[in-house]
Amino acid sequence: MNMRKEVCIDSNIEGNMQKKACLGIDIGGTSVKLGLFDLEGALLEKWSIPTNRERNGAEIIQDIAASVNRKLYERKLKPERLTGIGAGVPGQVSEDGMVLLAENLGWQNVPLGRELSEQTGLPVRTENDANLAAFGEAWKGSARDCHSMMFVTLGTGIGCGIVVKNQILTGVYGTAGEIGHMHVEDRMPVPCVCGKYGCLEQLASATGLRWMGERALEQTMEPSLLRNEKVSAKTVFEAAGKEDRVAVQIAERFGKYLGKALADCTCLLNPEMIVIGGGVTKGGQIVLDYIEKYYRQYAYEPFGGTKLRLASLGNDAGIYGAARLIMMDKTDTF
Amino acid sequence: MNMRKEVCIDSNIEGNMQKKACLGIDIGGTSVKLGLFDLEGALLEKWSIPTNRERNGAEIIQDIAASVNRKLYERKLKPERLTGIGAGVPGQVSEDGMVLLAENLGWQNVPLGRELSEQTGLPVRTENDANLAAFGEAWKGSARDCHSMMFVTLGTGIGCGIVVKNQILTGVYGTAGEIGHMHVEDRMPVPCVCGKYGCLEQLASATGLRWMGERALEQTMEPSLLRNEKVSAKTVFEAAGKEDRVAVQIAERFGKYLGKALADCTCLLNPEMIVIGGGVTKGGQIVLDYIEKYYRQYAYEPFGGTKLRLASLGNDAGIYGAARLIMMDKTDTF
């Protein structure tokens, strides 16, 4: 923890004090991550609290408020010295801070912005968590100083946030960046959670890699390192790194689905950079290499190529993006 | 021609006069379209001049300037009363008005903005023509008042401009919206102009419809209305409207390629509306119906559907968008 002394402000100073810090919060289904930032964007301290999903997450907001208030008290930091709270939610949020739907929290029509503001005395701005993770990577991560970027998260599913000229692209109903539901396979025998067949996240997420792996092992008698252990994104890329033929085939398929889908995204958006993160990328550079191989084959880039990079902020991308959100004057979503 | 009298300003009025009008210009490979607009966006007069492509289009700018200056003289309209000129170019333009490449005009590194401004005494802003056509449809056409929109032009090729919250999305190298080069067919035997195989515009443009039609007639003995006439977008949709089986198959394929590609675009952008225009849509509602059939099958729209509409400004979309561009204070591209 990098605690800067200048943020521990004398609590006796009164009046219209200069702002010194802000909070970035990332509300997840298991835990809520919180970060205290100075206004240059340095992370002063981060901590987390468990997400209490009981009774449709009825306690979550007051748990967050209590944790924030305790931290400010510990640090002798008056609310007046904070710009406010930025908060990311795993779901759909309206511009006025109303969470329309966040299934992982059990929330439907929860006035997060208003309640968190009332319980902390701080201004609150809210946004979808994938968008804020992108905002974080665009601000302080791999896509720093980029004109435009997509941040693709390969986890259980596939999420994506888009930032163009420091603005989050949300779409008219907040579903911009839902590339996990691009259609990539006509012959998919099982349905996606969305009800359609052949969505990108059925094949190129951690879940998809496991599904492809288990299926490949069933369909061939070929020996494979994957027969000795649980098939997962991790074991597939480890085995592919050792030239295991079955694993290489799965990794190639993964790379083709994702590389081609991202090439199509480049046709539409022409971003300066595509940042790839999430659990699947714990496999490291080899994951990116399989994606980039097919991306370059399909991408239309007559005047210059989009850079593909691994994410650099890890699990902190969301709190960085949330802090950035509350620091900005205007509404930087469009 | 709808000439409003109030624009014919007394040429004796001097000094810092209130702005009254502006010009929108759409530079094409065959003709240059010009429009005089009032500042509410009403088109007061439109006209066109031929594009002189000789000597790499060396005369084009002075031809435009002469036509503009003549029109202002005729209308007794002093340059000081005009906001300026917005100009669309079929190619890549930098923010400072330099046309980097416009093959149809023979232009490479032509300082359009500077020269046209010098020769008319008016401020000039430039932009890619597909982007300005989108800007026009978003402003005064089918997507009026929409949060966000794509304007897809189905002509010899496939172009697309994107407008989100009154801003043109250009991409880092100006190639945002190049959906004509999305990969849609793995088994395409001939290369696209871009060098790749299986691009959307090889199959779902006017050129693509003709190619699919001619190929279908070769591959089947089935009788078809298309055997009696030249195969084109027009004849394909006319015959499909009469339930001609060969034509229906071609139209279905067209609809599937384009509908699926646009569904993928919706995953990424979540636009409020997709407007479809260009020569192919002269076939009318039936063209849109074939696209929408497959679009709805593939689109992921959990919170509300993107509207699909035919364009309404026809060939004037470009001059409307160009006028809008010069009317706006800030740089509304990103």
The edge-to-edge listing of strands for the beta sheet with B273-277 is B167-168, B158-164, B148-154, B273-277, B307-310
Count A/B contacts: CB-CB distance under 8 Å.
135
- Give the closest residue to A139 by CA, choosing from A317, A334, A331, A326: A317
Residues in chain B: 334
Amino acid letter, B201: E
- Give the closest residue to A39 by CA, choosing from A60, A24, A52, A51: A24
Structural domains of chain B ordered from first start? 5-134 (3.30.420.40), 142-312 (3.30.420.40)
Amino acid letter, B59: E
What pLDDT shows up at residue A7? 37
Picking from B197, B265, B268, B274 by the largest number of A CB atoms within 10 A of its own CB, the best residue to mutate is: B268
C-alpha dihedral, B246 to B250 to B251 to B255, nearest 10°: 150
Would you call B199 an interface residue with chain A, using a CB distance cutoff of 8 Å?
Answer: yes
Q: What is the mean pLDDT of residues A129-134?
A: 96
> Alpha-carbon distance B228 to B258, whole Å?
27
What pTM did the predictor assign?
0.91
ipTM for this prediction: 0.90
Tokens standing for residue B182: 């999305």
Nearest CA in chain A to B198: A298
Give A148 to chain B, closest Cα distance, Å.
7
- Quick one: CA dihedral A281, A283, A284, A290, positive or negative? negative
> Alpha-carbon distance B69 to A121, whole Å?
61
Task: Out of A147, A182, A199, name the one closest to residue B172 (CB).
Answer: A147
Picking from A194, A267, A306, A333 by the largest number of B CB atoms within 10 A of its own CB, the best residue to mutate is: A267
Task: Out of B92, B148, B300, name the one closest to residue A194 (CB).
Answer: B300
DSSP A153: E
DSSP B143: T
- B154-197 residue pLDDT tens: 999 999 999 999 999 999 999 999 999 999 999 999 999 999 99
Give B203 to chain A, closest Cα distance, Å.
16
The edge-to-edge listing of strands for the beta sheet with B43-50 is B43-50, B31-38, B21-27, B82-89, B124-128
- A135-173 residue pLDDT tens: 999 999 999 999 999 999 999 999 999 999 999 999 999
Residue A291 · residue A324 · CB < 8 Å: no
C-alpha dihedral, B32 to B166 to A128 to A262, nearest 10°: 0
> Alpha-carbon distance B100 to A80, whole Å?
51
Q: DSSP letter string over B197-234?
A: BSBHHHHHSHHHHHHHHHHHHHH-----GGGGS---HH
pLDDT for residue A11 is more than 80: no
Q: What is the mean pLDDT of residues A89-115?
A: 93
Between A1-5, A56-60, B69-73, B184-188, the lowest mean confidence (pLDDT) is in A1-5
Environment class of A330 (CB within 10 Å of its CB; exposed 0-12, middle 13-18, buried 19+): exposed
Tokens standing for residue B328: 């706006």
